């Protein structure tokens, strides 16, 4: 049955009057919101500030002790779920018993154990059907490929006996348009995977994800004739094509089948069916979120809020973050969601703010940033906020309200920040729960403050500074073949070009 918009809004109003049981218990403080630390360390997001989980011979490996310190830090920030993605490079038959696959499972199991000791749950998310180093998407409508998909889910869940939650998401990368696959196929097949997981690990948490506009790419990603599901970077954008008819049809299908998911299933749905999660026009997802929230706990999977992808520098995007949290509160009974990072060793302030944004949506992000710096640098740190926020200078995915200053003034202020950070060496609180340790963190800030100051000097050597940035952030890619997603190089060029064009 197609529900009209008016019926949906009526549903939303009803949901507000009588909150579902889980929401009532949450309001009574019995069920805390899920505050999810989502560390995406996939192979196209490698950098000096993210763990390298795939290339034992290359830099940026983390020891188990490093991981334990990371977990201690995020627990202290207020996170209660540790989440990682089993990226396609591992979600394939070849990887299961490879040395890299075995070590990945060993180390993540150790992390999960430590996370449990700190009161966090652990979640692994997997794109339902995208497999292998080249990110090929298998087709659930081909019997042999569906058997392979089911086998991989089964095999990999068994590798993580302590896992609390398994997340199913549609793709990005990947999705299928072959052999009649549609968004409804993704929903139907996710139900089968969820049943498989629930049978394998009775009561395991399931997170069913609608990511994309909605159900990323299923039935609408361009696949050329003769495709075997190969990942083609230029075609990924087609998965973002929004169609109201497709959204209505597939969301109605989800509502129809929602009750068939295992009892312990939550649904992730953003406020809007677009990359920014903006509830605008036909892309407004709020009525659907409310309809789902009548029977299931819902989470936000808003990826646009914290730091973007491959925009590696210190971030300060908190006005929009807290505004979005308030929009979510006004829209539906959201019960937590993800905080994405690919730079946990650099953007600790963002992680702290993101966790706090679920605890106190009315919190003042500037005060919180000050609190963070006081923990690391003592009282002198509170004054760092005004300079630190100057790093957020480049318009980017999810960051539109950037600082604008005349170049010379920016240079002067950033140079002063370098001095201030240098002077703070003696003030560092070595006992602060931070990963890496507070002095190392201070040095990272000095590096970026100096780089941003140098890039805005009167006559910078841009090529040399670009190399300085690349060497500090991305040098691991000098030793890898070109990835199917080559964004680190493109984004480095873009980063430096911003300063070249700034008068
Ligand atoms: Zn297919």
Between the CA of 12 and the centroid of ligand 1 the distance, in Å, is 34
- Give residue 219 CA to ligand 1 midpoint distance, Å: 8
**What's the CA-to-centroid distance between 413 and ligand 1, angstroms?**
54
Q: What is the pLDDT of residue 401?
A: 87
Question: Of the candidates 234, 229, 249, 5, which has an alpha carbon nearest to the alpha carbon of residue 138?
Answer: 229
Phi, psi angle pair for 75, to nearest 5°: -65, -40
Cα 139 to ligand 1 centre (Å): 4
Cα 240 to Cα 100, 176, 246, 280, 481: the distances in Å are 33, 13, 12, 15, 28
- Report which DSSP code applies to 83: E
Ligand 1 center–CA 185 separation, angstroms: 8
Interval between CA 131 and ligand 1 midpoint (Å): 14
pTM of the predicted model, to two decimals? 0.93
Phi, psi of 297 (to 5 degrees): -65, 135
Q: How remote is the CA of residue 228 from the centroid of ligand 1, in Å?
A: 9
Exposure of 367 in the CB half-sphere (CA atoms within 13 A): 7
Bridge partners (DSSP) of residue 337 are 35, 300
The rounded Cα 359 to chain-centroid distance in angstroms is 18
Question: Ligand 1 centre and the CA of 94: distance in Å?
Answer: 22
Instruction: Please give the Cα distance from 297 to 294 (Å, whole number).
Output: 8
Q: Tell me how many degrees the CA angle 221-223-227 measures, rounded to the nearest 5.
A: 145
The CA distance from 503 to 494, in Å, is: 16
Nearest to 54 by CA among 108, 117, 120, 128: 108
Q: How far is the CA of 199 from the centre of ligand 1 (A)?
A: 25
Question: Ligand 1 centroid to 188 CA: how many Å?
Answer: 12
- d(Cα 317, Cα 307) in Å, to the nearest integer? 8
Cα distances from 278 to residues 35, 239, 272, 274, in angstroms, run 21, 17, 5, 7
DSSP string, 354-402: HHHHHH-TT--HHHHHHHHHHHHHGGGGGGGHHHHGGG--S-BTTB-S-
Cα 90 to ligand 1 centroid, rounded to whole Å: 21
Q: How many residues does the chain have?
A: 503
> Residue 344's closest CA among 228, 232, 434, 212?
434
- The answer to whether the CB of 198 falls within 8 A of the CB of 249 is no
How many whole angstroms from 157 Cα to the centroid of ligand 1?
23
Q: Is the dihedral of CA 261, 266, 272, 273 positive or negative?
A: negative
- What is the 444 CA–ligand 1 centroid distance (Å)? 46
Distance 357 CA to ligand 1 centre (A): 39
Per-residue pLDDT of the chain (503 residues; tens, 9 = 90+): 344 443 434 444 444 445 555 555 555 556 899 999 999 999 889 999 999 999 999 999 999 999 999 999 999 999 999 999 999 999 999 999 999 999 999 999 999 999 999 999 999 999 999 999 999 999 999 999 999 999 999 999 999 999 999 999 999 999 999 999 999 999 999 999 999 999 999 999 999 999 999 999 999 999 999 999 999 999 999 999 999 999 999 999 999 999 999 999 999 999 999 999 999 999 999 999 999 999 999 999 999 999 999 899 999 999 999 999 999 999 999 999 999 999 999 999 999 999 999 999 999 999 999 999 999 999 999 999 999 999 999 999 999 989 999 999 999 999 999 999 999 999 999 999 999 999 999 999 999 999 999 999 999 999 999 999 999 999 999 998 777 677 888 999 999 999 999 98
Alpha carbon 220 to chain centroid, angstroms = 23
- Distance in angstroms (rounded) separating the CA atoms of residues 458 and 25: 59
Which residues, including other chains, have CB under 8 Å from residue 236's CB and lie 6 or more apart?
172, 173, 217, 221
In 3-state terms the chain splits into helix, strand, coil percentages (rounded to 5) of 50, 10, 40
Instruction: Provide the token pair at 341.
Output: 């990072």
Which residues lie across from 81 on neighbouring strands?
Answer: 36, 121
**Cα–Cα distance for residue pair 126/256, rounded to 1 Å:** 24
What's the token pair of residue 300?
């936000």
Taking the C-alpha atoms of residue 85 and residue 79, their distance in angstroms, rounded to an integer, is 17
CA 367 – CA 193 distance, rounded (Å):
44
* Torsion angle in degrees (nearest 10) through CA of 200, 206, 211, 214: 90
Closest CA to 54 of 100, 91, 95: 100
Output phi, psi for 175, to 5 deg: 155, 165
Helix (H) or strand (E) holding 438: helix 438-455
The CA–CA distances, whole Å, from 431 to 64, 164, 337, 377 equal 20, 31, 30, 11
pLDDT at 26: 53
CA of 129 to the centre of ligand 1 (A): 9
Rounded distance between C-alpha atoms, residue 35 and residue 41, angstroms: 19
439 CA from centroid of ligand 1 (Å): 51
Task: Give me ligand 1 centre to Cα 3, in Å.
Answer: 28
| Cα 87 from Cα 98, distance rounded (Å) | 15
Distance 145 CA to ligand 1 centre (A): 9
């Amino acid at each position: 049955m197609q529900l009209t918009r008016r019926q949906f809004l009526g549903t939303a109003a009803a949901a507000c009057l009588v909150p579902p049981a889980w929401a009532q218990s949450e309001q009574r403080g019995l069920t805390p919101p899920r505050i999810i630390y989502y560390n995406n360390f996939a192979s196209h997001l490698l950098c000096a500030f993210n763990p390298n989980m795939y290339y034992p011979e290359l830099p940026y490996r983390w020891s188990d002790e490093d991981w334990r310190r990371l977990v201690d830090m995020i627990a202290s920030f207020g996170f209660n779920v540790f989440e990682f993605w089993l990226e396609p490079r591992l979600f394939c038959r070849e990887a299961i018993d490879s040395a890299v696959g075995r070590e990945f499972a060993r180390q993540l199991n150790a992390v999960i154990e430590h996370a449990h000791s700190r009161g966090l749950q652990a979640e692994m998310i997997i794109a339902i059907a995208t497999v292998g180093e080249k990110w090929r998407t298998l087709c659930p409508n081909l019997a042999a490929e569906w058997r392979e998909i089911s086998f991989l889910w089964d095999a990999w869940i068994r590798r993580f006996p302590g896992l609390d939650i398994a997340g199913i998401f549609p793709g990005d990368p990947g999705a299928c348009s072959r052999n009649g696959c549609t968004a409804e196929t993704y929903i139907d097949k996710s139900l089968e995977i969820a049943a498989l997981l629930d049978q394998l690990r009775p009561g395991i948490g399931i997170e069913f994800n609608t990511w994309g506009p909605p159900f990323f790419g299923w039935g609408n990603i361009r696949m050329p004739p003769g495709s075997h599901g190969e990942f083609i970077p230029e075609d990924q954008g087609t998965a973002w094509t929004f169609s109201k008819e497709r959204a209505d049809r597939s969301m109605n299908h989800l509502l129809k089948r929602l009750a068939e998911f295992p009892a312990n299933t939550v649904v992730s749905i953003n406020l809007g069916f677009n990359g920014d999660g903006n509830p605008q026009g036909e892309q407004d997802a709020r009525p659907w979120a409310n309809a789902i929230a009548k029977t299931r706990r819902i989470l936000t999977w808003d990826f646009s809020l914290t730091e973007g992808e491959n925009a590696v520098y210190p971030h300060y995007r908190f006005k929009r973050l807290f505004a979005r949290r308030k929009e979510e509160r006004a829209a539906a009974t959201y019960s937590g969601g993800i905080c994405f990072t690919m730079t946990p060793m650099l953007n600790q302030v963002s992680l702290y703010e993101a966790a706090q944004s679920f605890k106190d949506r009315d919190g003042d992000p500037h005060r919180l940033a000050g609190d963070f710096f006081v923990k690391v640098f003592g009282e002198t740190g509170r004054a760092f906020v005004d300079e630190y926020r100057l790093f957020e200078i480049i318009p980017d995915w999810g960051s539109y309200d950037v600082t604008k200053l005349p170049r010379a003034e920016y240079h002067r202020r950033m140079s002063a920040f370098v001095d201030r950070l240098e002077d703070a060496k003696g003030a560092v609180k070595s006992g602060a729960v931070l990963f890496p340790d507070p002095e190392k963190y201070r040095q990272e800030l000095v590096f970026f403050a100096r780089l941003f100051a140098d890039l805005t000097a009167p006559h910078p050597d841009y090529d040399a500074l670009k190399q300085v940035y690349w060497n500090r952030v991305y040098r691991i890619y000098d030793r890898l073949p070109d990835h199917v997603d080559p964004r680190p190089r493109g984004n480095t060029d873009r980063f430096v070009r911003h300063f070249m064009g700034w008068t």
